[in-house]
């Protein structure tokens, strides 16, 4: 493997291939930063363009677009509270609060450095630990996925916000929306009202964009008499150095990257889960969890590191078994096939130059992100905030509409977008948090379909749910997460009478 | 001056009158939309995007083909869009047999098979039944015997939902072998493959091209191929027919247009696909990627579509999948 890596190095750093990674990164940054437009679409468009080109040139562009696109979503999330990609939703929670405090530059810096760390660690995992990690991913069958979803649902409390009732209501709304669509096991259509467009359920990208991108725009329209941010408030000059504070961020980076890599290698877990679960985890273990959601840089770091770590990891099962760990990995597989590169163990034997070259490009593009997505890009994107809101609000709506239309080329999605946007705006006015909706929406259907699959396979015998040690461990973890707060509450109560 | 004006008017009138027939001669004068009923990056999408650039080349005259993804409802949204498009040759689309026929046979689709003008078939990928490498089943017979001993105890994973083409195949197989199996729909190719490899499901169906690499590596075992003869790509794998079960199924991808499109445009598109499929550059790439190319010209494709619809109607009568 070392031989193959050394052999691949000169190809990776060949001027043309280097340029490909740079081009891909710049394009990815734009694709990621535009709400609704996703990396999946971007890479799908790249595939036919790269048809006659050298594989490493093509893959270099894809690698660049993958890592930069996944970070790009954080830019509008932090600056305008508008998520560029579904995964950047968790970045908003603290990122935008920091911008309001005038720390936009610092927040973006935290995001980019955390994204780089996450993507780089993920690429290292891809290069060094692909074989054992693939074995881990194979341990997960329907029963294990069911427990994973339950664990995710159990940790949802960290996202509920200050008002418990409103938080729980929001997560139930998410679970409810998640039931829409055709039931795979019976073929019954649920809450589709005969609409073809709803047969696969709500499109997550459309729904998330409506939930998170529109309310801030409506808010802007409300405040449209105000002027844009003054130059002084923006402060794009270096504020603090994230790199110098590495000791402070290191634990968050490591934990979040581990979570991202883990979710990345799981084909059955949605990619946008990584950033949420990483954020959840960071808040849960933080010394002062109440500062999360109020502009804690650790929140941004957790979300972006988790998000970045999902990238290369999703390629692990894709390259070694042909099983993509995420939507983007699926498109990259398509791109490999176009170049006659068939995924599987033989890919590593027959084309080591290309495979290890591509892995190195994933690593390279992670570091390139520092250059491409660093302060220069931040300053350019940041200028947008200087626009008066009368101009900015319709502009965002325009970009959001184009992006959402591009997902499925369907007018229907635009109606959903506006409808969901209005509902979300009202929710926001009434103080209901939107983040729990997302987790309910992602995890609810996963828990349900996997539970039914495992019971179908076992012919209704519930013992299948605890038939492997992986299931048992995750089930116990879930129980632990649920019981810990009860135990704490009980101890508090024990202590109080003693004090009185 | 007046004369010039009159000549101009006459010219315009003539141009308008002729445009009906001139349309086909100049075709294409604007970008052609190629509708793909699945999301970007899927098998059909990659096939469409790669053939599109070669069709552009062989249509000549700077022809442009834009691939438009209209995914959803198992392809129904995109296919409805093709069926209902203006038959002027500027909207064509990929259709997938037998998924599209199944929707028509169920009677829930907004289109009929007659609403399409077949152009050409490109790919035919036979179905296969696979088991994990540690599975006790060495042949279809082993699996049938185990299922007969304990009816319903063997679950077969598919990438679809209830009513998908793979589900229909399982129903056919159940009828022919007189066994009871359990259908476990995973809703995607990635999870079902993971489940077979990890030993979470006894057996699964997929397309041959998806099983090739894993089978050669010995990670999975192909116990039955649903084609008439053995595949050149995987000579060791026996067919269902050899083992005494007449199961022939697979999925095909081809290009169709809305019905009523001028015959000379059909011919142009057909010729472009034919030339594209014989383009050495394309052939080389297809061979490397082991794409099971299977060209059928417009007439043959139409006959193939009619036969598969008739087969599905027969199945629907005996064992409706919904």
Per-residue pLDDT for chain B (322 aa), expressed as one digit of tens each?
445 555 555 454 444 444 444 456 788 888 999 999 988 767 788 788 888 889 998 988 888 898 888 988 888 999 999 999 999 999 999 999 888 998 899 888 899 999 999 999 999 999 999 999 999 999 999 999 999 999 989 999 998 888 788 898 999 899 889 999 999 998 888 888 889 999 999 999 998 988 888 898 888 999 999 998 898 888 999 999 999 998 988 889 999 999 999 999 999 999 999 999 999 988 887 887 788 889 999 999 999 999 999 988 988 888 887 7
- Residue A11: pLDDT above 70? yes
Q: Residue A220: phi, psi to the nearest 5?
A: -60, -45
Q: Nearest CA to CA, how far is A187 from chain B (Å)? A: 5
CA nearest to B51 within chain A: A48
| Res A49: pLDDT | 74
Which of A184, A323, A339 is nearest residue B161 as measured by Cβ atoms?
A: A184
> A403 in contact with B at a CB cutoff of 8 Å?
no
Q: Which of residues 107-166 of A touch B (CB under 8 A)?
A: 137-143
Which of B41, B214, B219 is nearest residue A334 as measured by Cβ atoms?
A: B41
Nearest to A474 by CA among A150, A134, A256: A150
Q: Is B244 part of a structural domain of the chain?
A: no
Q: Is B25 part of a structural domain of the chain?
A: yes
Q: Is the ipTM of this complex over 0.90?
A: no
d(C-alpha B42, C-alpha B297), whole Å: 24
Q: Nearest CA to CA, how far is A194 from chain B (Å)? A: 10
> Are residues B172 and B91 located together in one domain of the fold?
no
Q: Is B245 part of a structural domain of the chain?
A: no
> Are residues B216 and B294 located together in one domain of the fold?
no
User: Among A322, A341, A403, A454, which would you mutate to test the B interface (most chain B Cβ atoms within 10 Å of its Cβ)?
Assistant: A322
Structural domain boundaries enclosing B58? 2-124+250-318
In the predicted model, what is the mean pLDDT of residues A397-407?
Answer: 85
User: Measured in Å, how far apart are chain B's first and last C-alpha atoms?
Assistant: 73
Q: Tell me whether residues B214 and A321 touch, CB distance under 8 A.
A: yes
> Are residues B120 and B258 located together in one domain of the fold?
yes
> Are residues B117 and B254 located together in one domain of the fold?
yes
Nearest to A453 by CA among B101, B258, B162, B248: B162
| Res B14: pLDDT | 47
> A269 in contact with B at a CB cutoff of 8 Å?
no
Chain B residues lying within 8 Å of A195, measured CB to CB = none
> Are residues B82 and B140 located together in one domain of the fold?
no
Chain B residues lying within 8 Å of A410, measured CB to CB = 70, 72, 77
> Are residues B18 and B114 located together in one domain of the fold?
yes
Contact A335, A48 (CB under 8 A): no
Signed CA dihedral, A412, A417, A418, A419: sign only: positive
Q: Nearest CA to CA, how far is B190 from chain A (Å)? A: 5
Residue A401 burial (CB count, 10 A): 17
Q: Nearest CA to CA, how far is A193 from chain B (Å)? A: 14
User: Strand, helix or coil at A212?
Assistant: helix
> Are residues B47 and B64 located together in one domain of the fold?
yes
Q: Tell me whether residues B193 and A321 touch, CB distance under 8 A.
A: yes
- Residue A331: pLDDT above 50? yes
Q: Nearest CA to CA, how far is B156 from chain A (Å)? A: 8
Q: Is B180 part of a structural domain of the chain?
A: yes
Chain B residues lying within 8 Å of A453, measured CB to CB = 184-186
Q: Which of residues 41-70 of A touch B (CB under 8 A)?
A: 41, 43-45, 47-48, 51-52
Structure tokens at A271: 């990619």
Q: Is B240 part of a structural domain of the chain?
A: no
Structure tokens at B10: 């006459």
Q: Is B238 part of a structural domain of the chain?
A: no
> Are residues B118 and B257 located together in one domain of the fold?
yes
Q: Residue A189: phi, psi to the nearest 5?
A: -95, 125
pTM of the model: 0.83
Q: Tell me whether residues B72 and A199 touch, CB distance under 8 A.
A: yes
Q: Which of B225, B260, B294 is the last residue of a domain?
A: B225
CA nearest to A186 within chain B: B162
> Are residues B67 and B30 located together in one domain of the fold?
yes
CA nearest to A183 within chain B: B161
pLDDT tens sequence across A224-269: 666 555 555 555 555 677 777 888 899 999 999 999 999 888 876 6
The Cα-based distances of B111 to B12, B306, B316 in angstroms read 38, 15, 18
Chain A residues lying within 8 Å of B197, measured CB to CB = 138, 321, 323
> Are residues B162 and B303 located together in one domain of the fold?
no
- Residue A472: pLDDT above 90? yes
> Are residues B129 and B91 located together in one domain of the fold?
no
> Are residues B78 and B151 located together in one domain of the fold?
no
Number of domains making up chain B:
2
Q: Specify the DSSP class assigned to residue B36.
A: E
Number of domains making up chain A:
1
The alpha carbon torsion through B167, B171, B177, B178 (nearest 10 deg) reads 140
Structural domain boundaries enclosing A220? 2-499
Q: Tell me whether residues B285 and A457 touch, CB distance under 8 A.
A: no
Q: Tell me whether residues B161 and A346 touch, CB distance under 8 A.
A: no
User: Among A184, A204, A460, which would you mutate to test the B interface (most chain B Cβ atoms within 10 Å of its Cβ)?
Assistant: A184
Q: Where residue B153 sits, what CATH number does that domain have? A: 3.40.190.10
> A331 in contact with B at a CB cutoff of 8 Å?
yes
CA nearest to B163 within chain A: A187
Residue A477: exposed, middle, or buried by beta-carbon count in 10 A (0-12, 13-18, 19+)? Answer: middle
Q: Tell me whether residues A51 and B73 touch, CB distance under 8 A.
A: no
Q: Tell me whether residues A453 and B73 touch, CB distance under 8 A.
A: no
Percent of chain A predicted with pLDDT > 90: 29
Q: Which of B225, B241, B259 is the last residue of a domain?
A: B225
Q: Is B36 part of a structural domain of the chain?
A: yes
| Res B135: pLDDT | 93
| Res A64: pLDDT | 94
Crossing angle of helices A104-138 and A352-372, in 10° steps, is 160
Instruction: Kindly report each contact of residues A180-185 with a partner whose C-beta sits within 8 Å and lies 24 or more positions away, as own/partner.
Output: A181/A445, A182/B73, A182/B161, A184/A449, A184/A452, A184/B161, A184/B162, A184/B185, A184/B186, A184/B187, A185/A449, A185/A452, A185/A453, A185/A456, A185/B161, A185/B162, A185/B185
d(C-alpha B190, C-alpha B201), whole Å: 14
């Amino acid at each position: 493997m070392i031989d193959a890596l050394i052999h691949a190095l000169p190809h990776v750093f060949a001027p043309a291939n280097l340029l490909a990674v740079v081009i891909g990164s710049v394009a990815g940054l734009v694709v990621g930063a535009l709400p609704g437009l996703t990396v999946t679409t971007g890479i799908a468009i790249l595939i036919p363009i790269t048809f006659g080109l050298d594989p490493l040139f093509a893959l270099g562009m894809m690698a660049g677009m993958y890592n930069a696109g996944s970070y790009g979503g954080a830019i509008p999330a932090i600056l305008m509270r508008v998520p560029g990609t579904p995964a950047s939703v968790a970045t908003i929670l603290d990122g935008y609060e920091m911008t309001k405090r005038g720390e936009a530059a610092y927040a973006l810096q935290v995001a980019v450095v955390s994204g780089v760390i996450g993507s780089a660690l993920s690429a290292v995992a891809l290069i060094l630990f692909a074989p054992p990690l693939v074995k881990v991913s194979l341990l997960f069958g329907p029963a294990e996925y069911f427990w994973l979803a339950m664990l995710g649902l159990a940790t949802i409390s960290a996202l509920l916000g200050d008002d418990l009732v409103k938080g729980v209501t929001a997560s139930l709304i998410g679970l409810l929306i998640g039931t829409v669509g055709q039931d795979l096991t019976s073929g019954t259509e649920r809450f589709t009202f005969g609409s073809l467009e709803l047969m696969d359920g709500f499109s997550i990208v459309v729904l998330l964009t409506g939930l998170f991108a529109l309310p801030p725009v409506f808010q802007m329209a409300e405040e449209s008499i105000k002027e844009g941010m003054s130059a002084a408030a923006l402060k794009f000059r270096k504020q603090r150095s994230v790199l110098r504070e590495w000791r402070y961020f290191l634990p968050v980076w490591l934990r979040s990257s581990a979570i991202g890599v883990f979710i990345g290698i799981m084909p059955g877990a949605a990619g946008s889960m990584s950033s949420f679960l990483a954020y959840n985890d960071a808040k849960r273990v933080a010394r002062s969890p109440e500062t999360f959601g109020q502009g804690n840089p650790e929140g941004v770091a957790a979300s972006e590191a988790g998000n970045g770590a999902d990238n290369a990891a999703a390629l692990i099962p894709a390259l070694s078994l042909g099983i993509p760990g995420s939507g983007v990995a699926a498109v990259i597989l398509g791109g490999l096939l176009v170049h006659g590169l068939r995924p599987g163990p033989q890919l590593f034997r027959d084309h080591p130059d290309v495979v290890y070259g591509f892995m190195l490009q994933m690593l390279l593009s992670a570091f390139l992100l520092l250059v491409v997505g660093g302060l220069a890009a931040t300053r350019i994107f940041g200028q947008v905030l200087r626009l008066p809101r009368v101009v900015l609000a319709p502009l965002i709506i325009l970009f959001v509409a184009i992006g959402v239309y591009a997902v499925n080329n369907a007018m229907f999605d635009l109606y959903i977008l506006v409808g969901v946007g209005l509902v979300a705006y009202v929710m926001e006015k009434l103080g209901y948090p939107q983040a729990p909706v997302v987790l309910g929406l992602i995890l609810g259907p996963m828990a349900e379909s996997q539970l039914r699959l495992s019971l179908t396979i076992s012919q209704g015998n519930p013992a299948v749910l605890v038939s492997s040690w992986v299931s048992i461990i995750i089930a116990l973890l879930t129980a632990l997460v649920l019981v810990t707060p009860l135990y704490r509450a009980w101890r508090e109560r024990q202590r109080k009478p003693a004090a009185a | 001056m007046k004369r010039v004006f009159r000549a101009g008017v006459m010219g315009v009138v003539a141009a308008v009158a002729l445009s009906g027939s001139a349309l086909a001669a100049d075709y294409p004068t604007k970008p052609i939309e190629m509708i793909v009923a699945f999301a970007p990056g899927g098998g059909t999408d990659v096939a469409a995007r790669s053939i599109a650039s070669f069709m552009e080349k062989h249509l000549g005259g700077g022809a442009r083909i834009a691939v438009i993804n209209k995914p959803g409802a198992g392809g129904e949204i995109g296919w409805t869009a093709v069926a209902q498009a203006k038959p002027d040759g500027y909207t064509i689309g990929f259709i997938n047999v037998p998924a599209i026929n199944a929707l028509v046979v169920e009677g829930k689709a907004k289109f009929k098979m007659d609403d399409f003008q077949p152009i050409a078939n490109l790919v035919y990928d036979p179905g296969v039944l696979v088991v994990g490498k540690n599975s006790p089943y060495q042949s279809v017979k082993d699996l049938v015997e185990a299922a007969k001993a304990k009816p319903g105890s063997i679950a077969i994973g598919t990438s679809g939902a209830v009513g998908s083409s793979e589900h229909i195949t399982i129903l056919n197989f159940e009828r022919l072998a007189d066994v009871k199996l359990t259908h476990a729909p995973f809703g995607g190719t990635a999870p079902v493959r993971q489940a077979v490899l990890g030993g979470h499901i006894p057996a699964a169906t997929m397309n041959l091209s998806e099983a090739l690499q894993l089978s050669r590596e010995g990670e999975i075992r192909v116990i039955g191929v649903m084609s008439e003869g053995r595949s050149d790509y995987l000579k060791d794998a026996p067919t269902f027919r050899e083992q005494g079960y007449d199961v022939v199924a697979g999925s095909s991808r081809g290009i169709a247009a809305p019905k009523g499109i001028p015959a000379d445009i059909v011919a142009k598109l057909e010729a472009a696909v034919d030339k594209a499929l014989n383009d050495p550059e394309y052939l080389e790439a297809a061979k490397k990627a082991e794409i099971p190319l299977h060209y059928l010209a417009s007439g043959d494709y139409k006959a193939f579509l009619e036969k598969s619809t008739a087969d599905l109607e027969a199945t629907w009568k005996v064992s409706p999948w919904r």
